[in-house]
Each structure stands twice: as structure tokens, then as C-alpha cells.
Amino acid sequence: MLHPVDGPTGSGIGFTGERGENCLAVYPGANRLLSAHHIRAVEQAVRGAGLVVAQFEIGDEPILEAFSLARAAGARTVLNPSPYRPVDPRILERTSILVLNRVEADCIADSLGLGDAEPGLSRPFGRLADALLGRGLEMVVVTLGREGAVAYKQNAIPLRQPAFPVDAVDTLGAGDAFTAGLVTGLMEGLSLSDSLERAAACGAILCERIGVFDALPTVTELGLFIRTWGTRIPA
């Protein structure tokens, strides 16, 4: 599905603090040239996918087209709106699973007029999840860094996934790693609980290392990490 275009490749610069927290500066470059036309050129591949995943290093137009094709074919869609920008309502209504960090969840809550809330786990993310699930989403997952993650589904008790208590040296790409772990788990037919555990493990392994692509775990590393930790994750 690679399609060469004129223009520089997209790039980003990450700034990491002493505790591993980060902020990003992103230049989209050629990513902004991706259009609905490019998506339609690979329509059969999109329609044949089990899950279609998108994030915000590309524009709204190709995401909307891909999600429209996927949902029409009965496939689920996963949106991770990072780097954050206001979410087009048309994309949101075609999203099956929404994966957000705390900041992104706050921004979407504000955009929906849900008002201010106390910081931390006391923030009523359940209220945001209810609003989004009421719009037709299948699941909302909020990642909370060292506090783990919470998955919300309609008419179900929120499922909490504790974070693996690793020493984070670089959190760049942790959200991407988490989403990748979650998606592959769901694609392989794992339970939501096991998929969240895999997602948390992917994020934790990456945070222990410097870098992003080279820091992502292999399947072997992932399996060893989960077996080593076993049930030792604090609830």
C-alpha cells in the first residue's frame, strides 16, 4: 500500500523529561498528502481487513474514507486521536473503538460540553465513555500512564488494567505500543482482559528503552515479559 508522493517525509521531535514524560513537535510532511483517492485505490484491502486502525498523523479525509469503507464491509475501526486535534464528528460516528490518553479524553470531554472535573482517576471518565458509547461506539479505552488503563463498554463494568511498575526512561511511543498490543490481541481472538494486559506490557517494555521503533518488543520479548511478571502487577 506504499504510495510515493512529492514532498518530505513526515517527522517528529520528542522531548523527554527526567521521569520519562514527553511532549512532541510533529511535522506531517508527506502524510498530509494522503487523500481519500489513495484509500479508494486500495478499497478491497480496506474492506477485507478485520480491523482498520488510524491515528492523527494523517488528515481527516483519508481516515473518514477508510472508516466508511471498513464499516460498510462490517469491519471494526480503531481510532487513536494522537497527536490530538478536534475529532471530526463524522469520523467519531464511524469509530468502533476509541483509544485515548488522559489529555485527549479531557479535550473530547470539553468538546462534548461535559464540563470540568477533578484531575486524576477521580475524573469521571465514565461519564465521557457513556456519552461516546451512547453515540454508537463499541468501546472506549482511556490510558492513564502509571495508573494503568480503563476500558468501557455498554452495559458492562469498567475493566481496569494496572500498569506494569517499570522504571520508565522514555515514554515516547508508549501510546502507539499500547494500541498495537490491544489491536493485535483483539485480532487474535484474545479476551479483552488479555488484550489489555498485552497492551500494557507493550507500553511498559517500550518505556524501559530509549527510542520508538527499535524499542518496540518482539513477540518473544512480549511473551517472556508477561510470563515473568505473572500476577505480580499491583491492582
Could you report the per-residue pLDDT of 72-99, keeping only the tens digit for each? Answer: 999 999 999 999 999 999 999 999 999 9
Is 122 or 233 the better-scoring residue by pLDDT? Answer: 233
Note whether residue 221 is domain-resident.
Answer: yes
pLDDT band at 121 (very low <50, low <70, confident <90, very high): very low
183-207 exposure pattern, b = at least 16 Cβ within 10 A, e = fewer: bbbbeeeeebeebbbbbbbbbbbbb
Number of separate domains in the chain: 1
- What's the chain's average pLDDT? 89
Kindly report, residue by residue over 186-228, the tens digit of the pLDDT.
999 999 999 999 999 999 999 988 888 888 989 999 999 999 9
Note whether residue 25 is domain-resident.
Answer: no
Note whether residue 207 is domain-resident.
Answer: yes
List the helix and strand counts (H, then E) for the chain: 9, 8
Give the mean pLDDT of 132-160: 95
Domain of residue 203 covers 162-235
pLDDT of residue 100: 96
pLDDT of residue 235: 54
Kindly report, residue by residue over 54-70, the tens digit of the pLDDT.
999 999 999 999 999 99
| Cell numbers found for residue 136 | 454508537
Residue pair 175/143 in contact (Cβ under 8 Å)? The answer is yes
pLDDT band at 230 (very low <50, low <70, confident <90, very high): confident
Asked if residue 123 has pLDDT above 70, the reply is no
Cα 115 to chain centroid, rounded: 24
Note whether residue 197 is domain-resident.
Answer: yes
Note whether residue 114 is domain-resident.
Answer: no
| pTM score, whole prediction | 0.90
Residue pair 206/217 in contact (Cβ under 8 Å)? The answer is yes
Note whether residue 21 is domain-resident.
Answer: no
Kindly report, residue by residue over 149-171, the tens digit of the pLDDT.
999 999 999 999 999 999 888 88
Residue 3's nearest CA partner among 24, 47, 33, 26 is 33
Note whether residue 209 is domain-resident.
Answer: yes
